A and B are shown apart, each in its own frame.
Chain A
Amino acid sequence: MNEFIALIIFYAIIGTAIALYARRGVRTQEDYFIGGRNIGGIISALTYAATTYSAFMMVGLVGLSYKTGVGAAGFELMYLVGTLFLLSYYAPKVWKLGKEKGLVSPAEIFTHRYGVVTAKLATILALIALIPYTSIQMIGVALILQKNAGIGFASGVAIASILIALWAFLGGLRGVAWTDAIQGVFMLTVAILAVLWTFNYMGGFEIPNELAVVPNEFWTPLRFATLTIPWFFFALTNPQVFQRLFIPKDEKAIKRMVVLFGLFGLIYTVLVTFLGLDLRFGTEIGKFPAIADRDKVTPTLLGMMPEWIALPLALSIIAAAVTTANSIILTLSSMVLRDVVGEKGKVIGGKIVVIVLTIIVAMFALKRISYIVELAVLSSTILLCQLPLILGVFHWKWGKEKTGLATLICGFVTAIALSAMMHPMVSIATFCVSFAVFLAMSSIER
Chain B
Amino acid sequence: MMKLLEVAFVVAMLIPFATHWDWTYFYWIAVTATYLAYIAVRRWEYE
Bound CA–CA A78/B11 (angstroms): 10
Report B34 CB to chain A, min CB distance, Å. Answer: 10
Q: Are A266 and B32 in contact (CB under 8 A)?
A: yes
A80 proximal to B (CB < 8 A): yes
A82 proximal to B (CB < 8 A): yes
Q: Which residue of the partner chain B has the closest CB to A93?
A: B47
Q: Are B17 and A78 in contact (CB under 8 A)?
A: no
Report B1 CB to chain A, min CB distance, Å. Answer: 15
Q: Please, which residues of chain B bring their CB within 8 A of the CB of A258? A: 39
Report B43 CB to chain A, min CB distance, Å. Answer: 5
Picked from B24, B43, B44, the residue with its CB within 8 Å of the CB of A212 is B24
A213 proximal to B (CB < 8 A): yes
Q: Are B13 and A263 in contact (CB under 8 A)?
A: no
Q: Which residue of the partner chain A has the closest CB to B25?
A: A70
Report B38 CB to chain A, min CB distance, Å. Answer: 9
In the complex, chain A residues 79-119 whose Cβ is within 8 Å of any chain B Cβ? 80-82, 84-85, 88, 92
Q: Are A92 and B13 in contact (CB under 8 A)?
A: no
Q: Are A92 and B31 in contact (CB under 8 A)?
A: no
In the complex, chain A residues 252-301 whose Cβ is within 8 Å of any chain B Cβ? 255, 258-259, 262-263, 266, 270, 273, 277
Q: Please, which residues of chain A bring their CB within 8 A of the CB of B25? A: 70, 73, 207, 212, 273, 277
Q: Are A270 and B29 in contact (CB under 8 A)?
A: yes
A74 proximal to B (CB < 8 A): yes
Q: Are B35 and A84 in contact (CB under 8 A)?
A: yes
Tell me which of B22, B28, B29, B35 has the highest count of chain A C-beta atoms within 10 A of its own C-beta. Answer: B28
Q: Please, which residues of chain B bring their CB within 8 A of the CB of A85? A: 6, 9-10
Q: Which residue of the partner chain B has the closest CB to A277?
A: B25
Q: Please, which residues of chain B bring their CB within 8 A of the CB of A224? A: 17
Q: Please, which residues of chain A bring their CB within 8 A of the CB of B35? A: 81, 84
Bound CA–CA A97/B43 (angstroms): 20
Bound CA–CA A85/B44 (angstroms): 12
A-B contact pairs, 18 of them (CB 8 A): A70-B28, A74-B16, A77-B28, A77-B31, A81-B31, A85-B6, A88-B44, A209-B22, A214-B17, A214-B20, A215-B17, A215-B20, A259-B40, A262-B36, A262-B40, A266-B29, A270-B29, A273-B25
Q: Which residue of the partner chain B has the closest CB to A220?
A: B17
